[in-house]
């Protein structure tokens, strides 16, 4: 344990030196220093005692189960399926090992820029992503052991019980909230002291906790939301509407990825589980006559090879990679596949129903101390982190969260349509933030450069729409598996999404009228977007233009392999996550969500994986 702490401390000291340089010089002129920080993160020390599962392992030609993708769902599935010692399980991951420094929550912004990210981008749009380079939003996805649970901001939410009841009502038996609640409780290892005991799980592998450190800005946000009418409560308990300091997938200021939660504890204890990193699956092998999946083609160690599956192939590659892989394998819209030169095996609506949460961040100045990343060069803070204290445990600066049902504000137990979450810094606090979002330099200079130049304290509130009505699509660019797919986000295609985004933005601004925010002199940063000057400032039309510019994804892509009955022509998998019309092929990740949930999906994806593992065990006669 001492060795691991020493490595973490060394990594933090190096990060502090780099960030200190960023603070000493103007960060906009320090791209080389920023790149050095990113490079350090991706080549940083991995814990060889835990990460090198594939060392000295000779891949076999056949396994009982092949799990594609070692992300949030894939790590959990591989761990659960390998509980049966008679089954041989292979987990394949296109990325490399998780590094120790990636476990430090505060560096989450930097992770968006390294090679542990697939670095997807949406297709250009004339009605969204207007503040981003070439009108294209960056869409990060984890390419690393643990997947996006290594890149995300560790914000833990279950969403609303109505989300799951709605899934069941859409023709998916077994997915009501009452039926999925035991799976949430199974994986949760929560230490949140004021959690609703009837709903929380205390002994599961995924650690959930409050962050020890809280800024005055976060405290003011919580007070202001309460003064606006919300109650402080466990938003993962019986009622979601409310405000709280953030529940995070961390423990002792350490990120708790799916890799750490499920695979670290079984290192060296499961000879029936093989894990191969840097292995890209290019196709699922499907017999076109029997329509049965029987293996995969995988690029690893410089060569392409075939690996067979005796029982099933389970695709857990995420809402972008999963539809891409299915279509490359002949499962998808027949017309589109033929246009690409792929012979269809199953004509299914793969890639449709793409959904995401967006949030147009609003910036405020304050007399309270905000997070400025050059401050992390203070050696005292490093010492405090090593005592599990200080802002290093803050997940990218995200500190507090609140849920409103704006359409039914008189209902305490509503189905929220907007979430506000607080980040204790601004776009100019850290050069990685605007870079990760891909902001145009002209937009950054017009709105945020002055905050940096004057060294002002500032923070952001992100009003995230929870139940968007717009739907996008993933399409193949070519039949080459190494070419990225085309991503059509279709943000704001439905007018409701613009309307609720503006209403959420105005709710965020209105909180400055509450005593909590007045106590820290919180004021809207009133700098106008040059390309919205045709609209009167602060008019509804101006804010609608603002929303279409700052279309910040919150990385919640879902729905592209929709779960539903065979009678639903838009469905790809059934309620047991089996691909319609194909035997021995399942999908288990966020792509199966029929409708996106009213919260952050990382927790629900753990639930999907746990439930999928049980269904697979049941279907193959393994009763524990």
**530-551 residue pLDDT tens:** 999 999 999 999 999 999 999 9
Q: 614 near 606, Cβ under 8 Å?
A: no
Query: Which of 42-56, 80-94, 163-177 has the weakest average pLDDT?
Result: 42-56
What DSSP character marks residue 263?
I
Check the annotation: does 605 bind a ligand. Answer: no
Which sign does the torsion angle of CA 386, 388, 389, 393 carry? Answer: positive
Tell me the catalytic residues.
Answer: 556, 600
pLDDT at 429: 80
Q: 141 near 321, Cβ under 8 Å?
A: yes
CB within 8 A of 367, min separation 6: which ones?
Answer: 457, 520, 521
Average pLDDT over residues 609-613: 98
Instruction: Extract the tokens encoding 610.
Output: 């746990």
Residue 601: domain span: 47-97+140-205+257-354+558-624
Q: 321 near 559, Cβ under 8 Å?
A: no
Average pLDDT over residues 581-593: 98
Check the annotation: does 281 bind a ligand. Answer: yes
Q: 245 near 220, Cβ under 8 Å?
A: no
Q: Residue 267: pLDDT above 70? A: yes
Average pLDDT over residues 448-457: 92
Indicate whether 1 belongs to any domain: no
CA 469 centroid distance within chain? 20
Q: Residue 48: pLDDT above 80? A: no
Indicate whether 501 belongs to any domain: no
pLDDT at 418: 98
Nearest 5°: phi and psi at 553? -70, 145
| Rounded-to-integer distance, Cα 496 and Cα 547, Å | 12
pLDDT at 280: 98
pLDDT band at 434 (very low <50, low <70, confident <90, very high): confident
Query: Which of 81-85, 159-163, 425-429, 458-462 has the weakest average pLDDT?
Result: 425-429
SS3 620: coil
Average pLDDT over residues 48-59: 63
Indicate whether 268 belongs to any domain: yes
Indicate whether 428 belongs to any domain: no
Average pLDDT over residues 351-356: 98
DSSP of 584-603, one letter per residue?
A: TEEE-SGGG-SS--SS-THH
Indicate whether 290 belongs to any domain: yes
Instruction: Extract the tokens encoding 436.
Output: 């990760």
pLDDT band at 118 (very low <50, low <70, confident <90, very high): very high
pLDDT at 7: 43
Q: Which residues pair with 473 in a beta bridge?
A: 488
CATH of the domain at 577: 3.50.50.60
pLDDT at 44: 54
Pairing of strands 523-524, 254-255: unpaired
Calculate Rg over the CA atoms of the chain: 23
Indicate whether 179 belongs to any domain: yes
C-alpha closest to that of 140 among 122, 157, 158, 159: 122
What DSSP character marks residue 277?
S
Q: 565 near 571, Cβ under 8 Å?
A: yes
pLDDT tens, position by position, 7-25: 445 455 555 544 444 443 4
pLDDT band at 354 (very low <50, low <70, confident <90, very high): very high
Residue with tokens 């792929």, as numbered in its chain = 342
Q: 448 near 427, Cβ under 8 Å?
A: yes
Mean pLDDT of the chain: 91
Indicate whether 493 belongs to any domain: no
Indicate whether 571 belongs to any domain: yes
pLDDT band at 374 (very low <50, low <70, confident <90, very high): low
CA distances from 77 to 66, 166, 314, 315, 572 (A): 10, 25, 9, 10, 20
C-alpha closest to that of 139 among 624, 577, 584, 552: 552
pLDDT band at 622 (very low <50, low <70, confident <90, very high): confident
CB within 8 A of 260, min separation 6: which ones?
Answer: 98, 103, 146
| Rounded-to-integer distance, Cα 446 and Cα 380, Å | 35
Q: Residue 304: pLDDT above 70? A: yes
Q: How many structural domains comprise the chain? A: 1
């Amino acid at each position: 344990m001492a060795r691991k702490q020493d490595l973490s401390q060394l990594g933090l000291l190096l990060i502090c030196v780099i960030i200190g340089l960023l603070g000493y010089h103007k960060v906009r002129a320090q791209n080389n220093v920023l790149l050095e920080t990113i490079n350090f993160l991706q080549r940083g020390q991995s814990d060889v005692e835990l990460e090198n599962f594939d060392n000295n392992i000779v891949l076999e030609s056949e396994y009982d189960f092949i799990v594609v993708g070692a992300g949030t769902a894939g790590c959990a599935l591989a761990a659960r399926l390998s509980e049966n010692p008679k089954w041989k399980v292979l987990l394949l991951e296109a990325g490399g090992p998780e590094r120790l420094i990636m476990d430090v929550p505060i560096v989450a912004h930097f992770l968006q820029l390294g090679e542990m990210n697939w670095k997807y981008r949406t297709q250009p749009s004339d009605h969204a992503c207007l503040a981003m380079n070439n009108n294209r939003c960056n869409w990060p996805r984890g390419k690393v052991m643990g997947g996006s649970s290594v890149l995300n901001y560790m914000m833990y939410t279950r969403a609303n019980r109505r989300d799951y009841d709605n899934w069941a009502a859409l023709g998916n038996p077994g997915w009501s909230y009452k039926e999925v609640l035991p799976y949430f409780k199974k994986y949760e290892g929560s230490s949140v002291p004021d959690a609703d005991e009837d709903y929380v799980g205390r002994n599961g592998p995924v650690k959930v906790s409050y962050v020890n450190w809280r800024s005055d800005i976060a405290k003011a946000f919580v007070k202001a939301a309460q003064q606006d009418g919300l109650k402080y409560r466990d938003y993962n308990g019986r009622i979601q509407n409310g405000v709280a300091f953030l529940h995070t997938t961390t423990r002792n200021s350490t990120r708790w990825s799916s890799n750490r939660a499920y695979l670290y504890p079984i290192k060296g204890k499961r000879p029936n589980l093989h894990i191969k990193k840097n292995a890209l699956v290019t196709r699922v092998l499907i017999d076109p006559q029997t329509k049965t999946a029987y293996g995969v083609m995988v690029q690893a160690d410089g060569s392409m090879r075939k690996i067979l599956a005796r029982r099933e192939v389970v695709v857990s590659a995420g809402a972008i990679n999963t539809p891409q892989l299915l279509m490359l394998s002949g499962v998808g819209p027949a017309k589109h596949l033929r246009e690409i030169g792929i012979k269809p095996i199953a004509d299914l609506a793969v890639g449709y129903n793409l959904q995401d949460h967006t949030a147009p961040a609003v910036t405020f100045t304050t007399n309270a101390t905000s997070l400025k990343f050059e401050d992390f060069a203070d050696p005292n803070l490093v010492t405090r982190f090593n005592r599990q204290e200080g802002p290093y445990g803050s997940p990218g600066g995200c500190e507090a969260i609140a849920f409103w049902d704006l359409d039914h504000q008189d209902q305490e137990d509503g189905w929220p349509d907007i979430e506000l979450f607080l980040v204790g810094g601004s776009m100019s606090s850290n050069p990685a933030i605007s870079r990760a979002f891909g902001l145009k330099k002209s937009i950054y200079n017009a709105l945020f450069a002055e905050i940096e130049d004057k060294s002002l304290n500032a923070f952001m509130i992100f009003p995230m729409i929870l139940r968007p009505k717009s739907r996008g699509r993933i399409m193949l660019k070519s039949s080459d598996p190494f070419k990225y797919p085309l991503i059509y986000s279709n943000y704001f295609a439905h007018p409701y999404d613009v309307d609720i985004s503006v209403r959420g933005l105005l709710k965020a601004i209105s909180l400055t009228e509450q005593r909590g925010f007045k106590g820290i002199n919180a004021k809207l940063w009133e700098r106008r977007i040059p390309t919205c000057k045709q609209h009167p400032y602060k008019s509804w039309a101006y804010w609608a233009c603002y929303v279409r510019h700052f279309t910040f994804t919150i990385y919640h892509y879902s729905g592209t392999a929709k779960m539903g009955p065979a009678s639903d022509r838009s469905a790809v998998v059934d309620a047991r996550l089996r691909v319609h019309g194909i035997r021995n092929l399942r999908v288990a990740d966020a792509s199966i969500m029929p409708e996106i949930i009213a919260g952050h999906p990382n927790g629900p994806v753990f639930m999907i994986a746990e439930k999928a593992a049980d269904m697979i065990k049941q279907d193959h006669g393994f009763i524990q």
